[in-house]
Structure 1
Amino acid sequence: MATSSGTRPASHALDRCGARATRFLLVTSDGVRTTVIVITWRGRAHIDACLDALAAQTRPHRTLVVDNASDDGTAELLVAHPGVGVLRLPRNRGYAGGLAAALPHVTTPFVAWLNDDAAPAPDWLEVAEGNLARNPNAAAATSVLRTPDGDVQSTGVRLTVDGHGADATGNGAVFGFCGGAALLRTDVLREVGGVPAEFFCYYEDTDTAWRLRLAGFDVVRTEATATHLHGASTRPGSALFHRWNERNRVITLLRCAPAGVAVRELARFAALTALLPWRDLPDRPPNLRAVLRLRVLVEVAFRLPAALRARRLVRRAATVPRRAVWEAWAGR
């Protein structure tokens, strides 16, 4: 079951999709539609479960593991999975950088993103592929991520009123997909600019979903399920987590949001940073520490020219106004 919500006029959507529908359903000569990209860094303790779950899928696929220069024996462990392709990078390029490095090697019509600490259910690909095949205007399909205890961790990504990409956990339509387990149309991903490698980690999924929405495509919520350990390679709540998270949120806004929203949120971030040294906040979390926020502002300033160049490229690919996407999804 899937729901979708488009913001583009129906006639335009039908014209564009009619030209693409046949190409979307192509398969490789061996009947494979999907390449699953698994990004790992020091994943020896948990990647076996991920690869075993992929081996048990009911739908044929290719698996490509991107090893971000692991030094814990992960490379040696991967040899025990002979049907798995491995792209070993000379340095750790993060989740976003690993996906970007793998994308040129994908020759299938669909590409899946999968964390190395996620173990998909046997019908995960079957359900996700089926949803995209039935929805020619959809460019990405979400997964239901569950904790090992069975609690729902994410059904996709929602967009908050201040431009945060947050996990959705309900049954309704979602703005975007969680990059921990998702399926995308390869050609559309390339057309909207691929994966923002410079993000390193976090918000690469929200940024990509936003660009898909601006280009007039939908993201469908599906019942494709995976069990996710969450944070096996990174530490949510750590200073590094907050630094990447805050920086990439602002850059995503600069790339994708209406100009007024992007400027407003950047100004709010800077204003709160300036006020923090004068406020008594006991046990303040890392994202409310002035030093971390100043570093984020420096990194955003350094990346601003590239973000503005990306903004122009996003505009060229867009068929839906930025304001229309924002009003349709922010705070929903």
Structure 2
Amino acid sequence: MHIRTTVVVVTWRGRAHITRCLDALAAQSRPHRTVVVDNASDDGTAGLIAAHPSRPEVLRLPANVGYAGGLAAALPAVRTELVAWLNDDAAPDSGWLAALEDAMDADPRAAAVSARLESPDGAPASVGVRLTPLGYGADVPDGDVFGFCGGAALLRVDALAAVGGVPAGFFCYYEDTDTSWRLRLSGWTIRTAPAARVVHVHGASTRPGSRRFHLWNERNRLLMLIRCAPAAVALRELARFAAITALLPVRRRVPDTLNFRLRLRVRVLAEVALRLVPTVLQRRRIGRRATVDRTTVWRTATAQLAG
């Protein structure tokens, strides 16, 4: 029995949904390895994983390093040619992995294939992500994509390693879009596999709209742009974010959302500033590996959006 894929599931306090995820993986039509990265859960998650009849391999970490950190921690243990990323609050159909592997085989230039994530009522949520003109990643419910959705995707291990692996320091959010950027800079394509269906309870592990969500979202977008985007785009968005932040105290009308709270935005800028030097060094390494110009990737992504 030839096993081509290692499925990596990162969990933190996943007691409410980890069993459902593992049940779905156990029902897959294709053989695979399953590695569960437990981010120091303290709610009984570890016991549920240990008791599951599928007996997944477990990497228990001493602290919560987030989704990105968990994926990065698992990569050295991956010995297969392919690796799947799967959220612990996702339950794939039995043909999910087969559809992903078949889509990968159909395009030798593809380094990643994104599944179709659906809400529990069957509504399409994402087949991948696009880039907005401001450099945000946004879910695409159907059609072509710029990048894969990290909640349920398949990647070539060699390609992932060649572009620098997973940005562990992101903790959570934009690790998939950043990885997609680097794969495209190295000449790879990214495909979708709509037949690879996954029911995803969005936000079961994190709280979209929370303060931490906006902190990670805004910070990681800026870090991703500094690492991967054309210099003019990165500088523009950094300056734009700083200017909006500086003007908040004198603006008469401010959107009533957490990402427009002054303290949060100041913290975003502070965290970016603290990471600026290593991030610029990472940018240089990414540029040395690239075979496609950053501007070409950016223009292609925004032209796709306009089309």
Q: TM-score range by the shorter chain?
A: over 0.9
Task: Tell me how far 1:134 sits from its aligned partner.
Answer: 1.4
Asked if structure 1 preserves the Cα contact closer than 8 Å seen for 2:254 and 2:260, the reply is no
1:271 corresponds in structure 2 to 243
What is the alpha-carbon distance in structure 1 between the residues aligned to residue 234 and residue 48 of structure 2?
Answer: 44
Counterpart secondary structure, 2:51 = coil
Task: Tell me how far 1:279 sits from its aligned partner.
Answer: 1.6
2:61 corresponds in structure 1 to 89
Task: Tell me how far 1:200 sits from its aligned partner.
Answer: 0.2
Task: Tell me how far 1:306 sits from its aligned partner.
Answer: 1.2
Asked if structure 2 preserves the Cα contact closer than 8 Å seen for 1:115 and 1:181, the reply is yes
Asked if structure 1 preserves the Cα contact closer than 8 Å seen for 2:248 and 2:254, the reply is no
Q: Which amino acid aligns with 1:218?
A: T
Unmatched segments (≥5 aa) in structure 1: 1-29
Task: Tell me how far 1:83 sits from its aligned partner.
Answer: 2.3
Counterpart secondary structure, 1:142 = strand
Counterpart secondary structure, 1:64 = strand
Q: Which amino acid aligns with 2:61?
A: L
Counterpart secondary structure, 2:193 = coil
2:113 corresponds in structure 1 to 141
Change (3 A) 1:136 1:268: same
Task: Tell me how far 1:250 sits from its aligned partner.
Answer: 0.2
1:158 corresponds in structure 2 to 130
* Matching residue within 86, 92, 96 for 1:124: 96
Counterpart secondary structure, 1:79 = helix
* Matching residue within 254, 263, 277 for 2:226: 254
1:5 corresponds in structure 2 to none
Alignment of 1:1-332 (within 5 A): 30-81=1-52, 82-170=54-142, 172-223=143-194, 224-281=196-253, 284-330=256-302, 332=305
Task: Tell me how far 1:284 sits from its aligned partner.
Answer: 1.4
What is the alpha-carbon distance in structure 2 between the residues aligned to residue 197 and residue 173 of structure 1?
Answer: 27
1:6 corresponds in structure 2 to none
Deviations 1:230-250 (A, max 9, x none): 111110000110000000000
What is the alpha-carbon distance in structure 1 between the residues aligned to residue 290 and residue 255 of structure 2?
Answer: 43
Task: Tell me how far 1:282 sits from its aligned partner.
Answer: 6.2
Asked if structure 2 preserves the Cα contact closer than 8 Å seen for 1:36 and 1:63, the reply is yes
Counterpart secondary structure, 1:99 = helix
Counterpart secondary structure, 1:108 = coil
Of structures 1 and 2, the one with the larger relative CO (CA 8 A, separation 6+) is: 1
Q: Which amino acid aligns with 1:102?
A: A
Q: Which amino acid aligns with 1:226?
A: V
Q: Which amino acid aligns with 2:44?
A: G
Q: Which amino acid aligns with 2:20?
A: A
Deviations 1:213-264 (A, max 9, x none): 0000000011111000011111000011000000000000000000000000
Counterpart secondary structure, 2:277 = helix
| TM-score of the superposed pair, with normalisation by structure 1 | 0.90
Deviations 1:45-84 (A, max 9, x none): 1011100000000000000000000000001111112520
Change (3 A) 1:302 1:76: same
| TM-score of the superposed pair, with normalisation by structure 2 | 0.97
